[in-house]
Structure 1
Amino acid sequence: MSVFFTPVSNGLPPALVTYGWCRSAYTVVRSLARRGVEVHVADSSRLAMCRFSRFARSFTRLPDFYSEPVAYIEALAAAMERTGAEVLLPCFEDVELVIRHWDALPRATRVAMPAMSDWAVAEDKLNYLARVGAAGCPVPRTWQVSNRAELDSIAAQVDYPVLVKVRMGNGARGVEIVDSPTELKDSLLAMVDTYELAQHRWPIIQERLAGRKFKLDGVFCNGEPVGMSPFEILRCKGAGKFGTSTFRRSVDEPTVVEHATTALRALNWHGMFNTDWICDDHGVPHLIDINGRLSGGVAVPYEAGMDLPWLWYQVSAGLEPDANLQTCAGVPVRWLLGDAIAFVEHVGAGKLREALGMLKPVRGCRHDDFVWSDPLPLVGEALDYFAKFLGARGSVRPMTKGMVR
C-alpha cells in the first residue's frame, strides 16, 4: 500500500512548490495537499525535507538559483512541463527570477507576483522606507551611508546601540547590533569588504527599537488584502530575540494589521509577503523589514486557522479566495530544529539559563517542521542542515553567494 497522500479529483490545478528544503515550503505542501491539490516539490538539495513528505507527489532536483539563475529557470520550466503543474509557488528569493524570466516558463503557468518595480522597492531595506512612510506606516529612523566622511559624521551623532544592515539579506545575515562609534565604523566597513558591496549599496544605519517584536504574514491581490495574520516573536536562534524566530504565538494586534495594510497598498502588492515589526518605547509598532515571499514562520498563521498558503494558491490560480478564514489568537508554534540549533549556540555562548528555557514543554504547542502523521520531513531537515553545516565548515548559518547584496 502506498504511503503517499492521494488528493481527491476535484478540478484544482496541480501546483509546484520550490525551495523544498525549508519548513515554510513544507507548510505550503501540507496545506495544499490537505485541500485536495496535487503538489510537486523542487529544490537544489537532494535532502530537501519536502521530498520525504507523504503529501508530495514528486520531487525535482534543481540547480541553485543564486549561482546558476539561467539553468534554474530552464530546469524549473522543464519541471512544470513534466509534472503537469499549472500553479507555481516560488517559496524564496527565486520569486525575483520568476518575475524577470516569466516568459521562459510554460504559457499555462499561473503565479501571483508583484511587478518588478514594486518587488525591487520592497526587497531593498532602504528604498521601501520612503514609500511606506509617506503612506503613513511608522518606520524606524534610518541613515544612508555612501562614503567614509558620511560614516564618520553619522557615527558621531546617533544614539547607541544602533543596527547596521545590508540593503538586501536573509535572516540575520548582514545585520549587526553595535554599541559605539568605533564598532559602527568597523562593522559597516567589514560588511562592505565581506560582501563586496558597491559604494551605492553600502549598508544602512538604523535606530534599534527594543519593544515587543511581531511578524505579520499575508496575501494581497492587486493591491488589496486577502488575508493577514500577525504573531509575536517569543524566542529566536540568537540572544535577545535576534535572528530567525524559533518560538512564536498568534496574536490579535489590529494596529499591526492596519499598518501592514497601509504599507502593502502603497507597494501595490500582489502575492505572498511577510513583514517584521518592533514596538518603540510608546508601544507603537514600526515596520523594520518587508520580504516578498513566505516567512519561515508561516506555520504560525496556518496552525492558528489563517491558511495563507491556500489563499496564495487561490490568488495564483485565479480562483475566488476563501473569505471565511480567521486567526485564532494564542496558538503557540515552535521550530523544533531551530530550537535545537539555538540550544547549542546558547550553551556555547555560556547562556545556560536561556538554553534550559528552550527545553520547557508548552501545552498545545504545534510545530513548523513536525506532525505525527508525517514524521519523515523532520529527519530530512536535520540531515540537510547537517550536510550544510559540514559544507560551511561548522557554520550554523551557511551562506550562498548572492544571498546578501
Structure 2
Amino acid sequence: MTTQQSETTPDSPAHDPPRSAPAGMRRPGRSSLRILLSEGSSLSARQTITALGRCDYTLDVCDPHPLCISRFSRFVRRYYRCPAVGTDPLGYLAFVLQHLTQDPYDVLLPVHEQAFLFAKVRDQLPDGVSTALASFDAFLQVQGKVAFARLMERLSLPQPPTRIVSSRAELEILDRFPSYLKTAYSTAGQGVWRVTNRVERDRVALVLEQQGLLGGTREIVVQEEASGALCQAQAVFAHGRLLAVHCTRTRGVSVGGGHSARTGVDHPQVREHLVTLGRALEWHGPLALDYLFDEATGHPTYIEANPRLVEPMNATLSGVNLADLTVRVALGEMGVSDVPLSGHPGRRSHSLLAILLGIADQGGSRREVLRTIAQSIGGRGIFAESREDLTPVRVDPPSLIPLAVVSGQLLLRPRAAQHIAAGTVNAYSLTAAAVETIVALDGK
C-alpha cells in the first residue's frame, strides 16, 4: 500500500488580489476552495501556482521529488510525496485516489502529463471532486506525436511535410534534410532528434532500433524542418467551445526546447484553427499547440500538442488567467461566449531559471551565467521590459530559493544543466511503457 507523506508550508500572508485583476481572476470570497495539483516539479506547475495564488485558493501539491520547485511558494499550503507517474503509474493513481478520498478537495488540477491518466479514470474520482478533462478518446488523438500528425492531416490543418515509419528500412529511404525524428511519446524534447544528413539520420536510426522502436510494431514521425518563429497557443475549452486563447512568440529556448522567454502575440488564424480542433475533439479543459509562424505569409505550421496547461503566466500577465478559467470549467461555472477571451499582445515575460539552464546546456561558461544574472538584475537584453513569470520573488519570496540553488549549481558546474533538467522531467513525464499501462486500465 502506498504511504502518504505530507508537510505543511509556513503560514502565508493574506493572498490579496492585485488591484487590477486580470480577466478570468477568481471572484472574492472563495478562499475555502481547495485544489490539488497533480505534480509540482514542472515549470507549468510552478507558474500555475502563481496564477492561482492571485485568486485566493487553497493549493496543495503532490510530487515524487521532496524538493520540487513548487514547494517553495507561499501560495502552497501542503506538499505530499507520491510515486512518480512515469515509472509507477498505478502506484501514483492509488496514492492520489486515496488522498482525494481522505481529504476534501473541490478540484483536481492535472498540470502535466498526469492529465492523460486521469482522463482514463475520471469515473474513479471521488464524488465532489471536479476536474476539467476531455474524453480519453480525445486525449489519444493529441497525446502522442504520431496520433497528432494524423489528426492534423484529417482536419486539413497545416503541419510540416510528414511521414510515419515503423522500420529502419522505411526510415533510411527518407533523404530530405534537415528533418526531425520524433518518437510517439516524449517530454521536453527527450524523444526528438534533428538530423541534417544521412550520417546523422542513420546514427539516430541505430539508437531507435536499439530501443526497439523500429521493429515494425511502433511508429516514428519524420517531419521536414519548416520555417518560421516558434510560437505557442494556449487555450481553454468547455465541451468543444473555445473559451479563451493566448498566443506567444518564443524569445528564448531552454533545455529540451522549452520556452524560457515569451512575448504575447495576436494570430487570428490560430484562433480559427483552435475552434476547428476543439469542435472536432469536443475538447474540455486546457490545450496548447506549438507552431511555427511565418511572418511573411501569416500562416502557422503546427508541430506538437500538449493536452494540458502549459506555463500560463504570460497569459495571466496579458489579462487572461487560463489557470483560473480551467478551475471554473471544472466547477461548471463558465458559460459559453460567442467571442473567446484573448490575452493582450505585447507583454514580455521570462524565466531566469530556465534561461540559465538553456545557456549552460548550450555550453555556456560561468562568465556567461554571471553575465546573464547581471542582465536580469539590470533589466537588459532579453530581460528588457520583461516580467519574471516563474520565480516572482516580490510577490512570492520563497520562490527565490530554487532559483538561488540552481544558479549556484550552474556556477559551480555549468554542465550540470542536463542533470538538473532530467531529474525534474523524470518526476512528471510519461514513458511509452507508462502510456501502455494507462491505456490498458479499466476506465471511461
The TM-score bracket by the shorter chain reads 0.7 to 0.9
Q: 1:18 to 1:168 in 2, by over 3 A?
A: same
Structure 1 residues 368 and 393: alpha-carbon distance in aligned structure 2, compared to 1, 3 A threshold: closer
* Contact 2:181–2:222 under 8 Å retained in 1: yes
Which protein has greater RCO, CA pairs closer than 8 Å, 6+ apart?
A: 2
Distance 2:212 2:321 in 1: 37
Question: Does structure 1 conserve the Cα–Cα contact (< 8 Å) formed by 2:356 and 2:372?
Answer: no
Identity %: 24
1:265-280 to structure 2, matched below 5 A, reads: 265-279=279-293
Q: Tell me the equivalent position of 1:26.
A: 46
1:77 to 88, 97, 102: 97
In structure 1, the residue matched to 2:197 is 180
Structure 2 regions of 5+ residues with no counterpart?
A: 1-9, 17-27, 433-444
Alpha-carbon deviations, 1:246-300, whole Å to 9, x = none?
Answer: 11100111122222222232222111111101135744211111111122x3211
CA distance in 1, matches of 2:323, 2:107: 12
Matched with 1:220 is 237
Question: Does structure 1 retain, via aligned residues, the 8 Å contact 2:178–2:196?
Answer: yes
Q: Cα offset for 1:161?
A: 0.8
Shift of 1:321: 5.3
Residue of structure 2 in register with 1:286 after alignment: 301
User: 1: distance between equivalents of 2:421 and 2:152?
Assistant: 30
Rounded to whole Å, the distance in 2 between the matches of 1:162 and 1:350 is 33
Which stretch shifts more, 298-307 or 145-154?
Answer: 145-154
CA contact (8 A) 1:248 1:334 kept: yes
Distance of aligned partners of 1:269 and 1:283 in 2 relative to their CA distance in 1, 3 Å threshold: same
- The structural deviation recorded for 1:316 is 0.6
- Contact 1:275/1:289 (<8 A) preserved: yes
Aligned counterparts, 1:131-210, within 5 A: 131-155=151-175, 158=176, 160-194=177-211, 199-210=216-227
CA deviation vs aligned residue, 1:96-122 (integer Å, no higher than 9, x gap): 211223343312211111111110111
Letter in structure 2 aligned against 1:36: D
1:336 maps to what in 2?
352
Size of the aligned set, in residue pairs, is 396
Query: 1:36, CA displacement in angstroms?
Result: 2.8
Q: Is it true that 1:248 corresponds to 2:248 in the alignment?
A: no
Aligned-partner Cα distance in 2 for 1:129–1:40: 36
Structure 1 residues 107 and 186: alpha-carbon distance in aligned structure 2, compared to 1, 3 A threshold: same
Q: How much does 1:127 deviate?
A: 1.8
Corresponding position of 2:426: 400
CA gap 1:395/1:37 in 2 versus in 1, 3 angstroms? closer
Shift of 1:400: 3.4
Amino acid at match of 2:193: E
Question: Does the alignment pair 1:373 with 2:395?
Answer: yes
Task: Name the amino acid aligned to 1:273.
Answer: L
Aligned letter for 1:67? T
- Contact 2:40/2:63 (8 A) holds in 1: yes
**Correspondences of 1:347-366 after superposition (within 5 Å):** 347-348=363-364, 359=375, 360-361=380-381, 362-366=383-387
Query: TM-score normalized by structure 1?
Result: 0.87
Between the aligned partners of 2:155 and 2:335, the Cα distance in structure 1 is 26
Distance in 2 between residues matched to 1:217 and 1:384, nearest whole Å? 28
- Supply the RMSD in Å over aligned alpha carbons: 3.3
Deviations 1:127-171 (A, max 9, x none): 22333333232111111111232122223xx2x111111111112
- C-alpha displacement of 1:12: 6.2
When residues 396 and 40 of structure 1 are mapped into structure 2, their CA distance, relative to the original with a 3 A threshold, is closer
Q: Which amino acid is 1:333 matched to?
A: S
Pick the aligned partner of 1:3 from 9, 12, 22.
12
Native 8 Å contact 1:24 1:368 kept in 2:
no
Whole-angstrom distance in 1 between the partners of 2:358 and 2:406: 17
Asked if the contact 1:216–1:228 (Cα under 8 Å) also holds between the matched residues in 2, the reply is yes
Q: Is the 8 A contact 1:188 1:203 kept in 2?
A: no
**Cα separation, 1, equivalents of 2:304 and 2:276:** 14
CA shift at 1:200, angstroms?
2.8
TM-score (norm 2): 0.80
Alignment of 1:69-148 (within 5 A): 69-148=89-168
Q: 1:384 to 1:45 in 2, by over 3 A?
A: farther
Letter in 2 for 1:330: G
